[in-house]
Amino acid sequence: MTVRLVALPGDGIGPEVVDATVEVLTTLAGDAGLDLSIDRHLIGGAAIDETGDPLPDATLNACIKSHGVLLGAVGGPKWDDPAATVRPEQGLLRLRQGMEVFANLRPTKMEPALADASPLKPDRLEGVDLLVVRELTGGIYFGEKTEGTQEASDLCSYHAGEIERVVRLAGDLARQRRGHLTLVDKANVLATSRLWRSLTTAIVGDEYPDLTFDTMLVDAAAMTLVTRPAFFDVMVTENMFGDILTDETAAVAGSLGVLPSASLAADGPGLYEPIHGSAPDIAGQGKANPMGTMLSAALWLERDIQRANLAERLRTAVSRCIASKQTTADIGGALSTSEVASAVRQQLEQTGG
């Protein structure tokens, strides 16, 4: 069977990190005998310039029919006018909706070689290996809005089905890891959080009694992430809290450049992308770190095509490059984006099939 991956280079450094990752995936697939087909399509500002649409129909259709989607980044100063009727970010939101992805996974595992890049003391970084599962379709970002010069409002709304499916996913993932699930909410203030807490407590009690389960208010969770980050295994939370806390976990790890993400659908391909933005200030200079994109591709190998062995080989190759400083300058190396790709490929070739 041919495995079809759609590559969406996007804007800024997106094409550079996607190109580097495609190069590595091609090497890995060839070595493993995986019949891999990679199709490139437009999204974001590049798509606006070419077609006037940040997500052309051809792009969305290809993504839906694929076995997975690898995204670089969207946006940049050229398209930054907030009053514009067409913006790059609209393409990303429509892509998520069209692919029906409902949960965003953000793993953070501390690489010992990056400890000095973290703002936290080394003793607080020992054993950090956590996963945030963020709900993507509900909450304040999608609620009814009013906006005026003197008053504005954003409705935060959740229904049971949105909560239950992401909690079950988080529970399954916790079982595959260290068996510890933490619900992050604001149940002392918000009605939506009280619904999250009651439903999650019931689901865990009925379906996941083997898990260690606790709840934590979002402000306490934010503090714990910088005082005791190794406490967490799997965190599950609503859309806005997840958006904020995952940026904090990136700071804990010391670099945006090495962190991956996956957005998953109930049935269908997932969307895989690094957590960093389009970084237009360094675009085209060979300075972009492709490792977050490569590790996102590892998530794709693991989840969408069930090739955990290939995912682990890719992660090991990246980790070895980090340990030997075969990296871009943002994490202490001196290689260009393409040179990092070559270094990772060399590590893959050394480990063999």
User: Among this protein's residues, is 109 annotated catalytic?
Assistant: no
Catalytic residue chosen out of the listed positions 11, 243, 304, 330: 243
User: Among this protein's residues, is 247 annotated catalytic?
Assistant: yes
Catalytic residue chosen out of the listed positions 49, 172, 247, 281: 247
**Intrachain domains 1-102+256-353 and 119-253 with the same fold:** yes
User: Among this protein's residues, is 141 annotated catalytic?
Assistant: yes
Catalytic residue chosen out of the listed positions 57, 172, 210, 219: 219
User: Among this protein's residues, is 233 annotated catalytic?
Assistant: no
- Ordered mean pLDDT values, 10 residues apiece, the chain (353 residues): 96 98 96 94 97 97 98 94 88 93 94 84 89 95 92 96 98 98 98 98 98 98 96 97 92 85 96 94 96 97 96 96 94 96 94 65
Distance CA(187)–CA(200), nearest Å, equals: 12
Is residue 262 within 8 A of residue 105, CB to CB? The reply is yes
Is residue 185 within 8 A of residue 237, CB to CB? The reply is yes
Q: Which CATH number fits domain 1-102+256-353: 3.40.718.10, 3.80.10.10, 3.40.640.10, 3.40.50.280?
A: 3.40.718.10
Closest by CA to 142, choosing from 75, 77, 79, 192, is 192
Catalytic residue chosen out of the listed positions 186, 272, 304, 330: 186
Helix, strand, or coil here: 4? strand
Catalytic residue chosen out of the listed positions 109, 141, 154, 287: 141
Look at residue 353 in the predicted model and tell me its pLDDT. Answer: 55
Give the domain ranges of the chain: 1-102+256-353, 119-253
Which one-letter DSSP state was computed for residue 287? -
Look at residue 204 in the predicted model and tell me its pLDDT. Answer: 98
Taking CB atoms within 8 Å and a gap of at least 24, the contacts of 148-157 are 156/190, 156/192, 156/240, 157/192
User: Among this protein's residues, is 53 annotated catalytic?
Assistant: no
Superfamily of domain 119-253: Isopropylmalate Dehydrogenase (3.40.718.10)
Closest by CA to 102, choosing from 168, 56, 39, is 168
Q: Phi, psi at residue 49, to the nearest 5°?
A: -60, -35
**pTM of the shown model:** 0.92
